[in-house]
Amino acid sequence: MTMPSRNALREYYGIGAQLAPMVHQQDDWRYEVGHPQYVTYLVPPHDVGGQPDVPVIYEEKEEELWELNTYVTCEVLGWRGVWNSEERRRRGNNDLGLSLYYGFPYYGRWIWAAARMLVDKNLISLTELLEKIAEVKARNEQR
């Protein structure tokens, strides 16, 4: 595979940037799209393997307590046989849509996937989930 030209990359990223929730430009969704738009639309937001990009600055970050708790909760759900890793990663984590995918932090997507899966499998009701969320919010507001 040859490296795309600078102009081709600029066009690709320009189209892709329009899909990001913060800068989304309204499109009339015409029946015919050009090849550059077609190629850009085919790439889901989480599938960045092999795509050219600028160097990423890695920072050492101490996980917050909620992130650690989310990780442990999701792992326990797997150990208990409630879900498997494919359900968590593909269906739950990656199928959120652009706005939620880019709008949530990494472990925010995990906990969203866990809550959605618990409701979808009828392990808890949506009402129970909403009541628990309200309870936790009230407890945190008291602090």
- Active-site residue numbers? 106
Alpha-carbon distance of 37 to 133, in angstroms, equals: 40
Name the strand (E) or helix (H) holding 41. helix 35-42
37, 15, 118, 35: which is closest to 74 by C-alpha?
118
Alpha-carbon distance of 141 to 82, in angstroms, equals: 31
Q: Is 143 exposed, middle or buried (0-12, 13-18, 19+ CB in 10 A)?
A: exposed
